[in-house]
Amino acid sequence: MNASSTPYAQSAPIAVQVTWRDYFNMTKPTITLLVVVTVFPGILLASPGVIPRMTLILASLIGTWLASSSAAVFNHLVDAEIDRHMVRTRKRPVASGRVVNRNAFIFGATLGVASVVVLGLGTTWLAALIAVIANAFYVVYYTMYLKRRTEQNIVIGGAAGAVGPLIGWASVDPTIGWPALVLFLVIFLWTPPHFWALALKYKDDYAAAGIPMMPVVRGDAVTRNQMFWYTVALVPVVASLTIFGAAGYIYFFGAMAFTLYFVWMAWELMRSADNQRAMPLFHYSCLYLFGVFGALMLDRLFIAI
């Protein structure tokens, strides 16, 4: 569908006064917070029985926040034209013209350079390299290519948002241990049901903008079915950290409770004949990572103390 012929098409945005909130919103603070939360368990798993020095923890968290914020800003910049054709996004700072392209680019580049400096000097250069690769993957490969060409866009692109545990582990140990890869896989499997729930709600928006999200290309029923099986796949992955000795039972019972409820919500959505349960699942999925990774942090801190 030609976006210019849709009812959401509009003329070039008129610049208006910009505020600090516009720049803050470009960092996608909720998504960035989720990414940062996944870093700390990676740090703890890489240093069993001890709590790393506070300066390293802060550098890892702040550096990841800067990196994720940079990627979000560039996403706003690259997707501005698409955002103008979607009701949900057309008021975003760049799409609406409140922040001009040049200023958005400078802001995103500054955040990106700062993240490399903080991670490289405050932790390890491997952690900085992982952040750079993830940002390039998200901005160039996902935003500029995958998002516009395949219904598997969010599945493949989700890898960029799953690197928090890898950065956390690499901040302590300049290698990547298997527990960090398990946490990476948890986020990777969580991403499709999380974003497809939103896509079910805003399917018409994505269709109007010409974005081939799963509900647009394959339909609602297929999307709901795939969401369920992704949540099912989380069960053995989440359990594996305890089964193979990387985490204890505080983590196991807490994380499994959150995961099984996620599976149940996806099951109810799959069985339904409409998408009314999609947004409740989306809102719960936002809490899910906090629950699973919070249980892991409690588990590791209990052992360290």
What residue ranges define each of the domains in the chain, with the CATH number in brackets? 19-304 (1.10.357.140)
Residues 204-236: tens digit of each pLDDT: 888 888 889 999 999 999 999 999 999 999 999
Helix 178-201, helix 39-46: angle, nearest 10:
170
Please compute the mean of the pLDDT values over residues 15-30 and round it to a whole number: 84
Give percent of the chain with pLDDT exceeding 70.
94
Calculate the CA dihedral of residues 87, 91, 93, 95 and round it to 10 degrees. Answer: 50
Q: How high is the pLDDT of residue 135?
A: 94
Mean per-residue pLDDT over the chain, rounded? 90
Q: How confident is the model at residue 305 (pLDDT cuts 50, 70, 90)?
A: low
Is the pLDDT score of 280 beyond 90? yes
Q: What is the pLDDT of residue 138?
A: 93
User: For 41-88, how does the pLDDT look when each residue is reduced to its tens digit (9 = 90+)?
Assistant: 999 899 877 778 899 999 999 999 999 999 999 999 998 888 888 888
Between 18 and 258, where is the model more confident? 258
Name residues whose C-beta falls within 8 Å of residue 258's C-beta, 6 or more positions apart in sequence: 288, 291, 292, 295
Question: Average pLDDT of 107-122?
Answer: 97
For residue 1, pLDDT over 60 is answered with no
The whole-number pLDDT of residue 192 equals 96
Query: Would you say residue 5 has pLDDT above 60?
Result: no
pTM assigned to the model = 0.89
Half-sphere exposure of 280 (CA within 13 A, CB side): 12
Return left, alpha or beta for 210; rule: phi > 0 is left, psi -120 to 50 is alpha, else beta. Answer: left
Q: Grade residue 18 by pLDDT with cuts at 50, 70 and 90.
A: confident
Q: Are 288 and 267 in contact (CB under 8 A)?
A: no
